[in-house]
Structure formats: C-alpha cells, structure tokens
Amino acid sequence: MEEEKKLKVLISEEELNARIKELAKQIYEDYHGQEITFICILKGSIFFTVELAKRIPSDINFEFIRVSSYHGENSTGVIKMKVDLQGDIKGKDVIIIEDIVDTGRTLSYLKEYLKSKEPKSLKVCSLLDKKERRVCEMEADYVGFDIPDKFVLGYGLDVDEKYRNLPYIGYYDNV
C-alpha cells in the first residue's frame, strides 16, 4: 500500500462516521423501527452496510448480492451477476445498500431485478453519488455524499481489489 501516500482525502473517517449516523437515524425514523432487509452489494458496500446497520436500533436482515460492471477504473457497461440472493425478499421492506451511484446502470438493473422478487418496498441507500457520470435515470432514496467526477478509493471502494480497507474516501490527484 505504498501508493497510499499519493492519495488525497476527499471524505475523512470522521465525516463518514457523522454522515452514516445521520443516515441511520433517517432510515430508522422512516421505517418506524420496523424490520428491514439490507441487500449489501458486494464487495464495495460491505463497510458501509455494517457501519450503517450498527447504528439502527431495529431488526435488520442481511442479504448479499454481487454484480460487476467494472474492470480497473473503467465501467464496461455490461452488468454480470456473480452472486445472487440466498434468501426470499417477498413482502419485505428492502433497502439496497450501495457504495457509489456512478453511471446508474448497475442500480437500474438491480432495482428491476429485485422488484421481480416482490418486496413490500424497495429503496436505495448509497454512500456516494457521482451525478456527473449518470447515463441512465437513477436516484438513491438516501445519499451520504454527492461527490465530483473523481475515481475514488477506500472505505470499500477499490481498484483491482486494492485500497478497500482505507478508513476514508480518497482519490488520486492527477497533477
């Protein structure tokens, strides 16, 4: 992780913790303490999912799904299902937990796919939103931070499986 020194901090660990606490409070209030099913999009959303869930004092069920549309720093535009849900979400209040909404392709695909499973409700919570890169209409119901069009790393986000474990969101300064 020697290259870490070249990374600039976009969102600090303290800022992440404060905003996640606010999102948890909002979700708890919106669901009135009812049971929620979180669908964590692997691998990038794992840190966010865990930290968000720890701050919600109601029952949370966890499901995991893994899709991919990236190779290195570039979106391929092709969404591949790598790991499907193991449990049934029919009749449940479901929140898709995403690390970043970028082009919107992956979440558009997932929302349509998950609607076919007949949840009671389906919302999206994304830690980061990069609206400048949107190519299809997609808005998250809960957003941690709007960010500029920079390739970000850390807190679950990676490039070729590296940098996920950084406790902050960083980016390379291409100067």
- pLDDT score at 74: 56
In words, the CATH class of domain 13-147 is alpha beta
User: In this model, does residue 19 exceed pLDDT 50?
Assistant: yes
In this predicted structure, what is the pLDDT of residue 132? 86
pLDDT of residue 4: 46
Mean of all residue pLDDT scores within the chain: 89
Residue 77's pLDDT is 63
pLDDT of residue 134: 84
Q: Looking at the annotation, which residues are catalytic?
A: 102
Q: Considering only CA atoms, which of 121, 173, 119, 120 is closest in space to residue 151?
A: 173
Q: What is the DSSP letter of 86?
A: S
Lowest mean pLDDT among 3-12, 24-33, 44-53: 3-12
How far is residue 14's CA from residue 62's CA, in Å, rounded to a whole number?
A: 25
**Which letter does DSSP use for residue 146 in this model?**
E
CB 65 within 8 A of CB 41: yes
Flag whether pLDDT at 170 surpasses 50.
yes
Q: What is the pLDDT of residues 51-105, one digit of tens each?
A: 999 999 999 999 999 987 655 555 556 777 787 888 999 999 999 999 999 888 8
Q: Residues 122-146: what's their mean pLDDT?
A: 93
Distance CA 65, CA 172 (A): 29
